[in-house]
Amino acid sequence: MKRSHARRGNPRATAAQLLQQLSAGRSLSELLAGAPGNVPPRDLGLLKEFCFGTARWWLRLAPLAGLLLKHPLKPRDGDIHALILLGLYQLEYMRVAPHAAVAETVEAVRILDKPWAAALVNGVLRRFQRERETLLARVDRDPSARHAHPQWLMEALQKEWPDRWEVLVDAANHRPPMTLRVNLARISRQTYFERLQQASLSARPVPGIPSAAVLDQPMDAIDLPGFTQGLVSVQDAGAQLAAGLLDLQRGQRVLDVCAAPGGKSTHLLESAPGGVTLTAVDIDARRIARVRENLERLGLKAEIQVGDATHPAGPWAERHYQRILLDVPCSATGVIRRHPDIKLLRKAGDIPSLAAQQSRILDTIWPLLQSGGMLLYATCSLLPEENREQVKRFLAATKDAREKPIDGTWGHACEFGRQTLPGEDTMDGFYYACLQKV
Amino acid sequence: MARLNILCFPDPRLRNRARPVEQVDDSVRQLLDDMLETMYEAPGIGLASTQVNDSRRVVVIDISENHDAPLCLINPEILERSGEEEMEEGCLSVPGVYETVRRADQVRVQALDREGNPLEMAAEGLLAVCIQHEIDHLDGKLFVDYLSNLKRQRIRKKLEKERRQKTTNEPVRQPVI
């Protein structure tokens, strides 16, 4: 028989179990997608807050726990380690009554079947309450802990953005806004604001991006007025720049490579004057199902193909396109505020291999672009290896490619292409470069 | 000592009935030690031989938080039941499932101890529930048998699905945004 503590679906215990798996290289989105641990629906928001918050501050909380633990925990007790960090997160960053945070976190050790850890977790959290300031001062001497960013990433950002890196890492540690993309093909932003008002919701327009609005209070997308009818989607303002940059003309053939989950694909269909023919390709058959769902919800049509951008094969690879959107796989260092686990999952060594993969994709897809056409290269990275250096290398190696400089009131012009930075104008960090074929 | 493999519902071998031990010898004591180790490691508070695919009629139990009160029962039999109690139970053979079961609140049990000496004891509360749960195992019965057919089918499907997912080794995919 197994002991039951009659509290199934304890969100703290479940959060600890999920967070423990981050060290095995699994992402939180992936872990949370699997309807975790019998947590009742009313606690799902709390579970997400626990997971994302603890991951966001992990690199500050882990050294803090190191000071509080006499001996490091055994690898098999990774769940208890994660639970301690979760306890510290609640005490330092959440508005939970401290005594409840401690009691509930201690209770979770029983659900994890590790009652021996009750005294340990209790002792660690109470000592933090007593000695908070001294302990934090010690931990914060290390800039990597103070900013809760890995050393390699901080150094890379310092090098590329010497005047701005501190603002950047600070923005990455903030909760992201919930940004809407109003489907301007169906409703004007102003009329949609009226719909929001009728539902006692409020939002502010994002200047310079006609479709974008930031909700004052985040909520479930499904509950947004007109969401199921396709009047609105959820998409960061920086991502909403892509459709405009493509400069679409009526009747063009457009290819979106690495299209899943389809945010940019659907936006370019919404915004194309008079319609274009879109082929959306992604390597992941499961993720491409999301593209299909999004198209259906918005009442849009596209040809959907499963395909590998480094080995194009099949009908989609035998045509030429007037526009190509190439939103390549990248380090995602520009969207850390939405996916804080990137700070733990991504390693310095990943960057060269990602850059090599991006080069390969760019070189492979370029021949599919028709002469006179344009390819929009996009990443959600802040690192030059994936952005301006990538484009520089490509332009030097590709005779029939020219850069078309991007004018904009947003972001920052780079040697090649243009970059948005997290937190500026509500946006995530995206990089765009327009490449024309002569 | 060795850790044993615990069978998982709906494994048909969990339906086997255990046969009484005729002589308590070293091989039986070895089995008890292995079962204790397996139970502590799981971790659980009770384990019956049927769950580790052994047909000798023995159970091990330890409901202490510190794992320092092991109880070994050979050929256990319930002499008397009284009272009623509802408790949420879980089972090492039905991982991740916890359901409320109604059982007697107090029991009187006779058995042999690990030296082969007869013992008789009274138990109540969690210990009483645990003894009934383990003796059920020896008779091929599981706690999910007390639930509705519908619920049991749902549990069976869930565990079969989990098993399938465990055996298909999906490659880990990094988030690409």
Where along chain A do its domains lie? 2-148, 179-234, 241-437
Comparing C-alpha atoms, which of B35, B41, B75, B79 is closest to residue B54?
Answer: B35
A35 to chain B, any CB pair closer than 8 A? The answer is no
Summarize the confidence of residues A205-234 as an average pLDDT. 94
- The partner residues of B78 in beta bridges, in order of sequence, read B109
- Name which of A25-34, A221-230, A308-317, A353-362 the model is least confident about: A25-34
Q: Which of A152-161, A214-223, B36-45 has the highest mean pLDDT?
A: A152-161
Summarize the confidence of residues A265-290 as an average pLDDT. 92
Around Cβ A303, how many Cβ atoms within 10 Å? 12
A20 band by pLDDT with thresholds 50, 70 and 90: very high
Contact B175 A284 (CB under 8 A): no
Greatest CA separation for chain B = 67
- The nearest alpha carbon in chain B to A239 belongs to B177
Contacts of A242 in chain B (CB under 8 A): none
Reported pTM: 0.71
Nearest neighbour of A345 by CB, restricted to B61, B63, B174: B174
Side chain identity at B2, as an amino acid letter?
A
Contact B44 A3 (CB under 8 A): yes
Side chain identity at A232, as an amino acid letter?
V
Report strand pairing: A321-327 vs A369-379: parallel
A275 to chain B, any CB pair closer than 8 A? The answer is no
- The nearest alpha carbon in chain B to A329 belongs to B176
Give residue A35's pLDDT: 58
Summarize the confidence of residues A251-273 as an average pLDDT. 94
Nearest neighbour of B175 by CB, restricted to A1, A113, A332: A332
How close does chain A come to B143, measured CA to CA in Å? 9
Rounded to 5°, angle at Cα B90 from B79 and B1: 80
More confident residue, B173 or A161: A161
- The partner residues of B112 in beta bridges, in order of sequence, read B74, B118
Contact B91 A1 (CB under 8 A): yes
Residues ≥6 apart with Cβ < 8 Å to A74: none
Q: What are phi and psi of A329, to 5 degrees?
A: -60, 135
For chain A, the C-alpha Rg in angstroms (whole number) is 23
- The partner residues of A232 in beta bridges, in order of sequence, read A182
- The nearest alpha carbon in chain B to A113 belongs to B43
Nearest neighbour of B172 by CB, restricted to A26, A29, A115: A26
Give residue A97's pLDDT: 75
Q: Which two tokens stand for residue A436?
A: 């024309």
- The partner residues of A214 in beta bridges, in order of sequence, read A179, A204
Q: Which two tokens stand for residue A195?
A: 């719909």
Side chain identity at A340, as an amino acid letter?
P
Contacts of A115 in chain B (CB under 8 A): 65
Contact B92 A2 (CB under 8 A): yes
Nearest neighbour of A8 by CB, restricted to B61, B98, B174: B98
Contacts of B134 in chain A (CB under 8 A): 1
Report, as ranges of residue numbers, the positions in chain B whose pLDDT lies below 50: 169-177
Side chain identity at A107, as an amino acid letter?
E
Active site (annotated) includes residue B37: no
DSSP state, residue A2:
B
Contact B89 A115 (CB under 8 A): no
Contact B43 A113 (CB under 8 A): yes
Contact B129 A1 (CB under 8 A): yes
Give residue A44's pLDDT: 83
Residues ≥6 apart with Cβ < 8 Å to A333: A153, A342, A346, A380, A381, A382, A383, A429
More confident residue, A101 or A7: A101
- DSSP string covering A83-117: HHHHHHHHHHHS-S-HHHHHHHHHHHHHHTT-TTH
- The partner residues of B91 in beta bridges, in order of sequence, read B94
CATH number of A2-148: 1.10.940.10
Q: What are phi and psi of B114, to 5 degrees?
A: -70, -10
Comparing C-alpha atoms, which of A376, A366, A372 is closest to residue A418?
Answer: A376
- The nearest alpha carbon in chain B to A112 belongs to B43
Q: Could you give the CA distance from residue A120 to residue A74 in angstroms, rounded to a whole number?
A: 14
- DSSP string covering chain B: --PPPPP-TT-GGGGPPPBPPS---HHHHHHHHHHHHHHHHTT-SEEEGGGGT--B-EEEE---TTS---EEEEEEEEEEEES-EEEEEEETTEEEEEEEEEE-SEEEEEEE-TTS-EEEEEEEHHHHHHHHHHHHHHTT--GGGGS-HHHHHHHHHHHHHHHHHHHS-PPP-----
DSSP state, residue A226:
T
Nearest neighbour of A1 by CB, restricted to B65, B90, B172: B90
- What is the fold, at CATH topology level, of the domain defined by A179-234? Alpha-Beta Plaits (3.30.70)
A119 to chain B, any CB pair closer than 8 A? The answer is no
* Domain spanning A241-437, CATH class: alpha beta
Model-level ipTM above the cut of 0.90: no
Q: Could you give the CA distance from residue B155 to residue A10 in angstroms, rounded to a whole number?
A: 20
Contacts of A284 in chain B (CB under 8 A): 173
Greatest CA separation for chain A = 73
First-to-last alpha carbon distance for chain B, in angstroms, is 49
User: For chain A, give me the number of helices (H) and strands (E)?
Assistant: 16, 13
How far is C-alpha B151 from the chain's CA centre?
Answer: 20
A19 to chain B, any CB pair closer than 8 A? The answer is no
How close does chain B come to A380, measured CA to CA in Å? 7
Query: Do A324 and A368 contact (CB within 8 A), yes or no?
Result: yes
Nearest neighbour of B44 by CB, restricted to A1, A38, A380: A1
Q: Could you give the CA distance from residue B29 to residue B115 in angstroms, rounded to a whole number?
A: 8
Query: Do A180 and A234 contact (CB within 8 A), yes or no?
Result: yes
Give residue A39's pLDDT: 76
A274 conformational bin, left if phi > 0, alpha if psi -120 to 50, beta if neither = left
Indicate if the pLDDT at residue A36 is higher than 70.
Answer: no
* Residue from A2, A17, A288, A333 whose CB has the most chain B CBs within 10 Å, to mutate: A2
Q: Residues of A with catalytic annotation?
A: 380
Indicate if the pLDDT at residue A110 is higher than 70.
Answer: yes
Query: Do A203 and A215 contact (CB within 8 A), yes or no?
Result: yes
Q: Could you give the CA distance from residue A232 to residue A313 in angstroms, rounded to a whole number?
A: 34
Around Cβ A222, how many Cβ atoms within 10 Å? 7
Indicate if the pLDDT at residue A291 is higher than 70.
Answer: yes
Rounded to 5°, angle at Cα A430 from A427 and A436: 130
Q: Which residue has the tokens 């988030």?
A: B175
| B69-111 per-position pLDDT tens digit | 899 999 999 999 999 888 889 999 998 888 889 999 899 999 9
Q: Could you give the CA distance from residue A182 to residue A235 in angstroms, rounded to a whole number?
A: 10
Out of B134, B160, B162, B170, the active site residue is B134
Residues above pLDDT 70, as percent of chain A: 97
Contacts of B61 in chain A (CB under 8 A): 1
Q: How many residues does chain A have?
A: 438
How close does chain B come to A329, measured CA to CA in Å? 5
How close does chain B come to A377, measured CA to CA in Å? 14
